[in-house]
Each structure stands twice: as structure tokens, then as C-alpha cells.
Structure 1
Amino acid sequence: MQPWQSYRDISPADIPANLRAGRGRLAKWFGATVLRLGGWRVVGEVPDLKRIMLCAAPHTSNWDFVWGMAAILKMDCQVRWLGKHTIFFCGTRRLLRWLGGIPVNRDNPASLIADVAALAEREGSIAFAMAPEGTRKKVDKWKSGFLRISQAADCQIVLAGFDFPSRCLVIGERFTPNGDSEADIARIKQCFSRYSGKNPEQF
């Protein structure tokens, strides 16, 4: 048994007031039902902070999105996440935006960081979610964009680990960067090494 399996489940009442989405009962029921049918739990805590960057890993499957979105609905937490602009087409745009999606063009990272920082400034309190790997495939080197975005948007980093063997999404461990991107990424990788994604060979 992994230690996080004994952690307390996160409920909508545990979400800080400034980060609550205010969705209806149906949305919360739907998210909770998807998690229950899949045998998943969301455990730990969402810290009472003004701005949060949820750093989610290991990201090795499209199922991460399914369980992550179900968790967001179940907890009724207003989480913004960045997605490739190509998935925001006519048939999905409204739903993905309602779920917190922000379409981005990754060809201009400097503009992306400025846009996210401006959004955080407009909204005051905000929670972003990003996969530090930037892709489901195995990569030798993680990009530092999530660190630069968290700094520009004045967000504190909170880790969210997907552990498929125990079917737990574990939230709550805080991470404080020291300013050395390579060293920070190495430390974050080490933190996530305790979790096993759906395709662990891709982490």
C-alpha cells in the first residue's frame, strides 16, 4: 500500500473559496461518477493560496486528461489549463473553454508567458495546471516553460501526481524553485518518481 492511499479524499468543501468554480450539482456529480466508475480517488489537499501552478505528472497517456478533468469537476475547482490551439475547433471549443482550457500556439512561447501573466493579473486568484513534460511521449529533457510561467504569473507550484496502480491523483506537495532551471527540473522529476503513470516506460 502506498502512503497516499491513506490520505483524505478532497471534496468541494476543501477547495479555497477564491478557487471555487461554482459549477452546478450535475457537473460535480458527473465528475465524481466518472472517478468512481474508474476506481479513482483525488487525495491530499489544495493549499489555500492566491495563485497556484498545479504541476501534473507523469503525463504518459490521454487518460490523464480524462481523470484530471473529472477531478476538476468533482472538486468544483476553477483550474485553467493550456492546450494546443488545434484541439479547440468548432465542435469542442465551448466545452473545452468551460472546462478551463486556454488555446495556445506553442510557436511563440514568449507571447504565451506574457498572455498567461496578464490573465493572472486580471483574475487575481487563479490556478493553472500544466504537464511539465509537455507531451505524452518520453522526452530526455523537460522544457522549463512551466517554471517561467509560474514565475511570471506569481504562482506557487503545487505537485499533482498521477499514480495508476493505486488509481490516485495526489495533490498538495509544494515545490519552491531555487532559480536554477535544470536543478529545479531534476528535483521535480525526483518528486514524481514515486508515482507510476499508465505507460511508465514513457516517463
Structure 2
Amino acid sequence: MVKMLCRFLLKLWGFKVTGPNPEVVPKKVYAVYPHTSNWDFLLGILLKFAMPIDVNYIAKDSLFRWPHGILFRKLGGIPVDRSKNNNFVDTMANLYNKYDKLAFAISPEGTRKSVSKFKSGFYYIAVKAKVPIILVKFDFGNKVVDYSEPFYPTGVYADDLPFIINHFKGTKGKNPELACQWEDEFKQENK
């Protein structure tokens, strides 16, 4: 019933899903781009139940306070205190060793605000956990959610970044002006 309702809502919203079935890989990191609006969360939740895919997400801990914190946890949310340097990458990577099946959806920008470069945490979590990254486009311009083939990172972020950015080029978020500025990303990585 929930699956059918979520599929109906996606169709009503005008979105279609393309790309391979991401569930063929039991452990993975979803790198979801772009994150420019709160609507991204709703789109992700609809996908979670419509496909269905088993996925958790990470969000700032302030979202997990009473009363809505209960709902966010039920929907797969895991709170993160971004003010502390608590070796987040190691903590997340170690979770993959505890489960036969695990997936986290992470926004490479780390925020809805405009940024000049990606945060590399999603990449290094995948490297440390030895799991692939699935690049996910939330393209509001074309009303498409696209899943890439599993991408196994080499461990050298600067080498893999052009592939990641090229995959996401042309993707329009709900608020395109807030998307990551690619030129700044290349300048910083190629110094």
C-alpha cells in the first residue's frame, strides 16, 4: 500500500526513475546531488518506499529533537553532530563491517547552501568501507532521478573527482543557483 502510494506521488509530481537497480549491490554509499532544497528529502523518502530501496541518511542532529526526531529516525535517519570532530568517516566506515546490507545517502555538498566544493566524506567512507558509490541525480529540471552503475573509488579523490563531477554536470536542483560551483571545485583540486 505504501509502495503504491509513493509511486503514485512520484508520478503525480512528474518524476521518473532511470538507471540500473541499485539494490544489486548490498553495501554502498549513495552520493545524491544536488541538495538545494528541503524538497530533496521528500523526494528521497518517496524513492525509499516506491522502489523500494533500503537506505539510511545522515542529517544534522538538530533535526532529531522532539517531536519530529522520532519520525526522522523511523525513516532511516541518523543524527550527526557537525560541531564536533569525531572521526565521522571512520565511524561510518566501521558500520559497514557490522552489517551484511547497508546503504547511506549522503549529499556531497553537505548542506543546502551554495558551496564552492564537495565535502569528501562520502568518498572516503566508501574507500574505507571498501564499498561502491552510486551517484544519484535529483534532476528537477528534467524531473528525473538517475542512478549510476556502482563506481568503485580508486582511493585518490583528486583522480576520481572529474568522473564524479562529469556525471553530475547538467543536473538541475530545485534551486539551481545553490548548486556546487564546478569551476571552483576543479581549481581547488588541481592546485
Q: TM-score with structure 2 length normalisation?
A: 0.84
Note the C-alpha offset of 1:56.
0.7
1:31 equivalent to 2:13? Answer no
The 3 A distance-change label for structure 1 pair 89 and 110 is closer
- Aligned pairs (5 A) from 1:91-102: 91-102=67-78
Tell me what 2:83 maps to: 107
Tell me what 1:136 maps to: 112
* RMSD of aligned alpha carbons: 1.8
Per-residue CA deviation, residues 101-137 of structure 1 (Å, 9 max, x unaligned), is 1111123354322332232222221111111011112
- The amino acid of 1:136's aligned partner reads R
Structure 2 alignment gaps of length 5 or more:
180-191
Note the C-alpha offset of 1:60.
1.5
- Aligned pairs (5 A) from 1:46-65: 46-47=21-22, 48-65=24-41
Whether the 8 Å CA contact 2:124–2:155 is kept in 1: the answer is no
- Aligned pairs (5 A) from 1:32-181: 32-47=7-22, 48-181=24-157
Tell me what 1:17 maps to: none
Per-residue CA deviation, residues 73-120 of structure 1 (Å, 9 max, x unaligned), is 111211011010100011112211121111111233543223322322
Tell me what 1:196 maps to: 172
Tell me what 2:163 maps to: 187
Output the CA distance in 2 between the equivalents of 1:83 and 1:29: 27
- The amino acid of 2:56's aligned partner reads R
Report SS of the residue matched to 2:170: coil
Structure 1 alignment gaps of length 5 or more:
1-24
- The amino acid of 2:6's aligned partner reads G
Output the CA distance in 2 between the equivalents of 1:187 and 1:163: 18
Whether the 8 Å CA contact 1:157–1:174 is kept in 2: the answer is yes
- The amino acid of 2:71's aligned partner reads L
Percent identical pairs in the alignment equals 37
Report SS of the residue matched to 1:70: helix
Deviates more, 1:80-89 or 1:142-151: 142-151
